[in-house]
Amino acid sequence: MRRTVVTGLGVVSPFGAGVKAYWTGLAAGACAIRPLTLFETNGFRCGLAGEVPEAAGGSLRRTRADRLALAAAGEALDDAGLERGERSAAALVVGAVGGGMFEAEAWYWARARGERVPGGVGALRTMLPGSHAAALGHRLRLEGPRHTVVTACSSGAVAVAEAADLVAAGVVDVALAGGVDALTRMCFMGFNALKLLDPEPCRPFDRDRRGMSIGEGAAFLVVEAAEHAQARGARIYAELGGHGATTDAFHVTAPQPDGEGMARAMLAALAAAGLPPAAVGYVNAHGTATPQNDRIEAQAISRVFREDRVLVSSTKSMIGHAMAASGSLEAVATVLALAHDLLPPTASLVTPDPEVRFDCLPGVAREAAVECAISNSFGFGGQNVTLLFQRV
Amino acid sequence: MTERRSVVITGVGVVNAAIVGASPALGAWLARPRPAPRTSSPVPAMRLPDATLAALVDGGEARRLSRVCQLTIAAARLAVGEAGLDPRGDPEQGLGLIVGTELGDFTSTIAFADGYLARGLAGLSPLLFPNTVMNTMAATTAIAVQTRELSLTLNVPTVAGELAVARGAAAVASGQVSAVLAGGVDELDPLVGEMLEVLGDRDVRGEGATFLVLEDESAARRRGATVLGRIGGMAWRSLPARPWGVGRQARSQAVAEAIERAGGRRPEWIYASASGDAERDAWETRVLAAALGPASLPTVSLAPRLGQHAGLGALRVAAATWTARSGLLPDDAGGEPTRVSGPGLVHGLGRGGNHVALVIG
């Protein structure tokens, strides 16, 4: 199997378009969780979200999610400096959940009121998660292997893992992978129905946390064979040393109470990289800020790593939980943390939960030159993924 | 791909309007492939009777789980049962799960939205919400069957089932998992039918689930499993096309790569993804001619008999192993089967350009 490295990054986040805006926000510990403007939230427990300030340009004939994806994917390809021929052979793996549901909802709401909506049929065409890969593949002229993975909130991370497998196995030299999700009424209503949203910006690992904040965005990474990247003189951000994917097979929404599935994913990533737990200096946690999930994730991290050796933070505290995009947004944050020797903080963490015995980097980013870091992503259905990145 | 492990099929589970059972049931139907009964409302389609499905799941599951999840679990259990695996009894039997679907649990998504539209906030169902995420079939099946390794849900038009099997085979071939349950599922409820009609969908539609147990051959033989067939090579690529569109380019690497991985022997017969969508079907014919030469090989689709759904893509792989064993290729029109020999190709090409090839035998 071949070594895989990251050579391109692209992001659209609640901080705005571009990797620079994203990293500036994370490094500053800024919170981009604000009152939601995209649709009405009257009557809901929570009216906040990590909303992208503007949908990153692009034709309004495209769905909001496609516009986010195209902007982030285009930035990643440009950042990698790939020639057109190298691009066309690249694989494309997209992690998605909501598809173009934001537009499809508008059509369905209007249909229920007996109204006709111009372009309604178009909304139906683009509502499935697989629609993003079709749009990206066509617009960016990618003709390698292409597929869309749906593993709920770990979709973006799974897409990166899938791309790494294709590169490592020699199917392609280059792959573009990431996740995308736009805010939708369905998602917002669903998490309200589950009573999982904090009325204030979320506070991962805080004793007084009350739930998550929903977000949106897109993040893509160019994953490349190390020898291919070196041969063309590409800038290498980090090595994707390994990944692990497991399933709890326990409950449709709740994680396994002892975190065994999560721990297995972390251990599998370490095994794939051939590294001991002590090699890891930073964990970008899934850290949703629900009372149950944070406690179980902390327990799982404790099963794998020594509490005094590893630093942990949740970047969801700054941008919210961007669903299918969260795994790839956090992968980019982890890669940038290695590249900048700076670990992003857990914003809004004031009173650490005594059950969470890690230093969760409250409020302020910390300078630290770690050699190896992991990014955890967990989804409904107990779909656990850990990505492990190493400094090069 | 640097494949070292031989991938074999050791279990098959099929649940659709014409076939319910493991590989013997599939073989019996393939020997005389009568069309599934068609319903005419809201669109012509081949829908599994609810009573048939009810007999395949227990009462608790029938109450708790959506219809598409029940289809998935029923087919998955049949496949695992035929393979003789027992992940519930032996958690060390690591089993992955890959589900291909075109439409997911659309019925629950609509029901969730309707709850809000009818009753406002009070109408929001926390039980329905998880089903609005397309991995709900994988989540419930993982619990029912106890698949605890890699789990993926793949969403692409037309070829989701073929792609799920190809991805599963790649996972076994590379050693990522030693065994995987891979297949496809779709259901067709009235509103989905209405929406497909609005979209101008041209496929002959059906519904159902087909799952296959794929294993590393050496591990399967060690445990004394019956080998139903071998996936010699697989590859997937994409051809230039607009989303939902049909492209012009016929040249593709996927077929050549799958053949090369299978040892280079040219396929002698084909299970194609022709689904009644004339434009897409013509494109597939051009792609196959470009890959295999102008002489047309015996080809069957089964879509006219069972209707297009993601389960059909996986069913074609299982059917191809039956053809490899029996030397018989069924006829889409119900005529006499064609006698064939040598390896076969399972070929899928979707609107938008997703392209999958698997060499069987």
Residue B265 carries which DSSP code? P
Q: Is A286 a catalytic residue?
A: yes
- Could you tell me whether strands A91-96 and B7-16 are parallel, antiparallel, or unpaired per DSSP bridges? unpaired
Q: Is B243 on the interface with A (CB under 8 A)?
A: yes
Tokens matching residue B155 = 């969403």
Q: How large is the average pLDDT for residues A176-203? A: 94
Please say whether the beta carbons of A176 and A320 come within 8 A. Answer: no
**Domain range annotation of chain B:** 7-222, 232-360
The proportion of chain B whose per-residue pLDDT surpasses 90, expressed as a percent, equals 80
Tell me the HSE value of B75 on the side-chain side, using a 13 A CA sphere.
37
Same CATH topology for A4-231 and A243-382?
Answer: yes
Residue B266 carries which DSSP code? P
Q: What does CATH list as the number for B7-222?
A: 3.40.47.10
Q: How large is the average pLDDT for residues B120-130? A: 91
Q: What is the pLDDT confidence band of residue B45, given thresholds at 50, 70 and 90?
A: low
Judged against a pLDDT cut of 60, whether residue A387 lies above it is answered with: yes
Contact (CB<8Å) A128/B155: yes
For residue range A364-384, what is the model confidence (pLDDT) as tens digits?
Answer: 999 999 999 999 999 999 999
Q: Where are the beta strands (DSSP E) in B75-174?
A: 96-101, 151-155
Judged against a pLDDT cut of 60, whether residue A104 lies above it is answered with: yes
Q: What kind of fold does domain A4-231 have according to CATH?
A: Peroxisomal Thiolase; Chain A, domain 1 (3.40.47)
Q: Is A247 on the interface with B (CB under 8 A)?
A: yes
Q: Is A228 a catalytic residue?
A: no
Contact (CB<8Å) A247/B240: no
ipTM (interface pTM)? 0.96
- Identify the residue among B4, B7, B95, B135 best suited for mutation to test binding to A, counting A beta carbons within 10 A and taking the highest: B135
Please say whether the beta carbons of B267 and B359 come within 8 A. Answer: yes
Q: Is B285 on the interface with A (CB under 8 A)?
A: no
- Identify the residue among B134, B191, B234 best suited for mutation to test binding to A, counting A beta carbons within 10 A and taking the highest: B134
Nearest chain B Cα distance for residue A89, angstroms:
9
**Domain range annotation of chain A:** 4-231, 243-382
Residue B36 carries which DSSP code? P
Q: What does CATH list as the number for A243-382?
A: 3.40.47.10
Please say whether the beta carbons of B9 and B231 come within 8 A. Answer: yes
Q: Which one of A132, A321, A360, A372 is the catalytic residue?
A: A321
C-alpha distances in angstroms, A3 versus A250, A300, B177?
34, 28, 20
Of B71 and A116, more confident: B71
What pLDDT does residue B235 have? 97
What pLDDT does residue A269 have? 98
C-alpha closest to that of B12 among B327, B328, B360: B360
Please tell us whether the domain made up of B232-360 is placed in CATH 3.20.10.10. no
**Cα angle vertex A249, ends A244, A254, to 5°?**
95
Nearest chain B Cα distance for residue A189, angstroms:
7
**Cα angle vertex A49, ends A44, A50, to 5°?**
170
Helices and strands, counts by H and E, chain A? 13, 15
Nearest chain A Cα distance for residue B297, angstroms:
26
Q: What is the pLDDT confidence band of residue B44, given thresholds at 50, 70 and 90?
A: low
For residue range B225-270, what is the model confidence (pLDDT) as tens digits?
Answer: 999 999 999 999 999 999 989 999 999 899 999 999 999 999 999 9
For residue range A281-324, what is the model confidence (pLDDT) as tens digits?
Answer: 999 999 999 999 999 999 999 999 987 789 999 999 999 999 99
Q: Considering CB atoms only, which of B116, B135, B156 is closest to A383?
A: B135
Q: What is the pLDDT confidence band of residue B296, given thresholds at 50, 70 and 90?
A: confident
Tokens matching residue B44 = 């012509």
The proportion of chain B whose per-residue pLDDT surpasses 70, expressed as a percent, equals 97
Q: Considering CB atoms only, which of B117, B142, B241 is closest to A381?
A: B142
